[in-house]
Amino acid sequence: MAGHNPAGAERAAPILPGATIGVFGSGQLGRMMALAGRAMGYRIATFSPDPNSPTGQVADLEVTAPYADLDAVAAFVAQVDVVTFEFENVAAEVAALAEAAGKPVRPAGTVLHTAQQRLREKQFLAQAGLPVAAFRAVASAAELTAALAEIGCPAVLKTAAFGYDGKGQVKIGRPQDAAPAWEQMGGQPAILEAFVHFSHELSVVAARGVDGAFAHYGAIENQHVNHILDLSIAPARVPAPTAAAAVELARAVLEKLDVVGVLCVEFFAAEDGRLLINELAPRPHNSGHLTIEAALTSQFEQQVRAVCGLPLGSTELLRPAAMANLLGDLWAAGEPDWARAYAHPAVKVHLYGKREPRPGRKMGHLTALSGSVEDAVGTVLSARAALTRR
């Protein structure tokens, strides 16, 4: 970004309501950002390979084409005032093309490039002096054996590229499990990480403005099931110094990456007291969905503000909150009974407009607000359980 406009003044001019925000990716993150952006008076255009997408259903314009179709990308970029992403696995050429067309790209393509590949991301974090679990790049079975000897067991083998929600991941409990684990990864470049014995998983959803302003939602506590986020709780039930340290690490990440926009940093709070960064998501994040109701400014409005060069909004947490994901598995015995969730007056139901409820697919979420974190967790879990009670 920097360097395209040496005058600087134009760069700082906010993109105001009435303008069109172009979003690459068309899932639920884009949908919730589009809903926030439209409420604020912006037009939303979305580009992805999928028709009738969660974002497209609520956008002003939905373009359906492969990300590799650079002519279609150029035509899309020509119609928008600013470009952002709701999905980081878009090829870097897409961001480069938009940057070359003179459109602000927020966050910049360099941020996507770093965050879309685990190995690059880990190397960036380690080089920046930020704490991560011990890791080694692994490109062959022999390298895996050598790395395992250095890192020790248990360890986790992950594909270097394009992994999310635990896809492309295998735990290695004993040295003799290395060969089958390598087979399972299909010979793709990988990263071996020390297994972290953690007491909590945390995330910090934060934002950085065009002017470098920083805002954060504090530490959020996350529980995963089968590597997929199941429950998020705010504020996290960790000591205040742990939460404050996580926020400071997140600030360092956003500054060192020179991010404009929302970025989520996921952490392990290890049993030995260390706080380790697991991964980065350079966009609004599932663990931040509870900010829609629980914060003065949602992560989605915050993304619109940051991307459009507006001042960031207050991230004040209004009440303790808990969010439970609704995966396609809930549909196994038919449509969930939505009336049961609505029977809880402090529960909010969000559905993403996806037609096919496949197992593991994120179909929606529930958020409960309450006077205490424990009560919010109890309410959201009982509302979710009620959906499938027969």
Which residues of the chain form contacts with ligand AMP (CB under 6 A)? 133, 156, 163-164, 166, 169, 193, 195-196, 201, 224, 227, 278-279
Reported as half-sphere exposure (CB side, CA atoms, 13 A), residue 323 has a value of 26
Q: For residues 55 and 169, which CB has a smaller minimum distance to ligand AMP in the complex?
A: 169
Q: Residue with structure tokens 């960031």?
A: 312
Contacts 24+ apart (CB under 8 A), 163-168: 163/118, 165/227, 165/228, 165/229, 165/360, 166/224, 166/226, 166/227, 166/228, 167/227
Distance separating alpha carbons of residues 109 and 120, to the nearest angstrom: 14
CB of 275 to ligand AMP, least distance (A): 14
CB of 227 to ligand AMP, least distance (A): 4
DSSP 196: P
Cis? peptide before 336, omega within 30° of 0: no
DSSP 380: H
DSSP 297: S
Q: For residues 135 and 352, which CB has a smaller minimum distance to ligand AMP in the complex?
A: 135
Q: For residues 11 and 224, which CB has a smaller minimum distance to ligand AMP in the complex?
A: 224
CB of 201 to ligand AMP, least distance (A): 5
CB of 164 to ligand AMP, least distance (A): 6
**Residues 132, 119: contact at Cβ < 8 Å?**
no
CB of 155 to ligand AMP, least distance (A): 8
Q: Which stretches of the chain are assigned E, i.e. beta strand?
A: 20-24, 43-48, 61-64, 82-85, 135-138, 155-159, 169-172, 190-194, 198-208, 214-225, 228-234, 261-270, 275-281, 321-327, 347-351, 362-369
Q: Which residue is nearest to ligand AMP (CB)?
A: 196
Q: For residues 265 and 310, which CB has a smaller minimum distance to ligand AMP in the complex?
A: 265
Nearest to 117 by CA among 178, 183, 186, 189: 189
Distance separating alpha carbons of residues 363 and 351, to the nearest angstrom: 6
Q: For residues 98 and 190, which CB has a smaller minimum distance to ligand AMP in the complex?
A: 190
Q: For residues 160 and 210, which CB has a smaller minimum distance to ligand AMP in the complex?
A: 160
DSSP structure string for 304-355:
HHHHTTPPPPP--B-S-EEEEEEEGGGGTTSS--HHHHHTSTTEEEEE---S
Q: For residues 80 and 119, which CB has a smaller minimum distance to ligand AMP in the complex?
A: 119
What type of residue sits at position 211? D
CB of 168 to ligand AMP, least distance (A): 8
Partners of 64 in the β-ladder: 48
Q: Residue with structure tokens 């939505």?
A: 338
CB of 133 to ligand AMP, least distance (A): 5
Q: For residues 20 and 114, which CB has a smaller minimum distance to ligand AMP in the complex?
A: 114
Q: For residues 99 and 121, which CB has a smaller minimum distance to ligand AMP in the complex?
A: 121
Partners of 195 in the β-ladder: none
CB of 246 to ligand AMP, least distance (A): 15
CB of 192 to ligand AMP, least distance (A): 9
